[in-house]
Amino acid sequence: MFTYYSIILFISIMTLLILSLLVHENARHTSKQKRAFYKTHFVIIIAAIMEWLGLLMNKAPSWTKYIHCLVKTIDYILTPAIAYFFINQVDSKLSVKKYMGILEIIDILIILLSVPFGWVFYIDQNNVYRHGPFYIVYPIIYVLMMILLIIGLLQYGRRFASSNKKSLFAIMLLTLVGIVFQETAGGFMRTGYLALAMGSTLLFIHFEEFCQQEMDEDGKAKTILLEKDALTDLYSRYAYNEQLKKHSNPPLSSTLCVLLIDINGLKMVNDTKGHEKGDELICETAHAIRKAIQSYGHVYRTGGDEFVVLLDLSSYTIKEFYDILKREFYAYKIKAIELSEINVAIGKAYAKDYPDFTLEQLVEVADRDMYKDKANYYRNKRHDRRK
């Protein structure tokens, strides 16, 4: 039976060593996170070896009595500490960590005092390990550490979705069952450290899955930030470039209309009234365009005062777009105090007129049309851009 236990111990230790190697090779974790994993694995391995040596040294030659006592002391100190290192591994900021630390200090003091006085355990004259008169204190501390571990994992699990919580609790249950089975079965049914090794492995997998989910969510959040223009809350230049990539091959939808919109007179506003008023003009123009497209397209701010509109004309018309745009411009003119009006140059291109064009080519057509409109605006003496 002892050979069987030795094999179980060997498998448990090899599992933890391989797990430490996996942690080392993982580029996503910080050095601090990796050290927390290493410490947990190291404590489990040493505690497991000490328990194995303690059983091996029962009835060993009498000269090994003090070594036997040292082995059991280390075993009794490290075994409850495993719970503390588990909590530190999953999240070093959990509130239960402080209470677990206090319990572990109490355990260390009691075990060290037990060495000369035999309170918790002692080694008899035959070099056999025995429970002391106050042995009950040790399992109480052990159970309290396990309870705090459960509470800590419950706190840690609050950040997960329900499916992640179920797997976390299943890992916790597996580990506890292995420990309880060892403590109640006795003999060589030493399943505790095997369960801890398995629990550590599964917890690492769970932690990896959670990290991946966080990275995915973080990536989505960053993409949203990239896709939104900070000033106007319209789609950004990045989002516009993504659309160009998406529609880099013809044909385009026959109902698609591309509009290029550029604010007239922005430079004069910036020069005479300041850039704050210039930003206000850009934002109000963006608001008007967004109102005008309604739910029939998307608008992108591609430059300082340049906008690209992708409009679906399957159930909408250019006339309706212009009517709403003019109405919004007029509404701003009524409420504006220092800026009297919004005026824009607009160029348009219809996909149905250029069936073999990509989106980028269609934008170029609309861009040329927009510059014609802008040139007509500035040819009017009242709209000299230099004044």
Closest CA to 12 of 20, 187, 170: 20
pLDDT classification of 386: cutoffs 50, 70, 90: very low
Q: What does the pLDDT read at residue 382? A: 59
Weakest mean pLDDT among 13-22, 125-134, 220-229, 274-283: 220-229
Per-residue pLDDT of 186-216, as tens digits, reads 666 677 788 888 888 887 887 777 777 767 6
Residue 138 CB contacts under 8 Å (≥ 6 apart), including other chains: 76, 107, 110, 111, 120, 121
Q: Are 106 and 141 in contact (CB under 8 A)?
A: yes
Question: Tell me: the pLDDT tens digits for 31-60?
Answer: 988 999 999 999 999 999 998 998 889 889
Containing 325, the helix (H) or strand (E) segment is helix 318-335
Mean of pLDDT values over 305-328 = 94
Torsion of CA 170, 176, 179, 185, to 10 degrees: -90
| Interval 117-129 mean pLDDT | 91
Peptide bond before residue 80 is cis, with ω within 30 degrees of 0: no
Residue 41's pLDDT is 93
- Give 226 or 26, the one with higher predicted confidence: 26
Dump pLDDT digits (tens) for 10-22: 999 999 999 999 9
Percent of the chain with pLDDT over 70: 89
pLDDT, mean over the chain: 86
d(CA 318, CA 232): 23
Cβ(348)–Cβ(364) under 8 Å?
A: no
Kindly indicate the confidence band of residue 387, based on its pLDDT and cuts at 50, 70 and 90. Answer: very low
Higher pLDDT pick, 123 / 377 = 123
pLDDT tens-digit series, residues 260-294: 999 998 888 888 888 888 898 899 999 999 999 99
Backbone phi and psi for residue 297, each to the nearest 5 degrees, phi listed first: 175, -165
Is 162 a residue whose pLDDT tops 80? no
How much is the average pLDDT of 144-157? 84
pLDDT higher than threshold 80 for residue 150: yes
SS3 of 121, please?
Answer: strand
How do residues 323-364 score in pLDDT, each as one tens digit?
999 999 888 877 765 556 788 999 999 999 999 999 999 999
pLDDT score of 367 more than 60 = yes
Helix extents (H) in 228-274: 237-246, 266-273
Is residue 250's pLDDT more than 80?
yes
Q: Residue 61 is encoded by which pair of tokens?
A: 């030659």
pLDDT tens readout for residues 73-105 = 999 999 999 999 988 888 878 889 999 999 999
Question: Is residue 109 packed enough to be buried (19+ CB in 10 Å), middle (13-18) or exposed (0-12)?
Answer: exposed
Q: Which contiguous run of DSSP H or E holds residue 304? A: none
> What pLDDT score was predicted for residue 93?
84
Q: How confident is the model at residue 140 (pLDDT cuts 50, 70, 90)?
A: very high
Q: CA nearest 19: which of 4, 50, 40? A: 40
Cβ–Cβ < 8 Å for 54, 67: no
Task: Please name the helix (run of DSSP H) or strand (run of DSSP E) that holds residue 349, with its range, or none.
Answer: strand 344-350
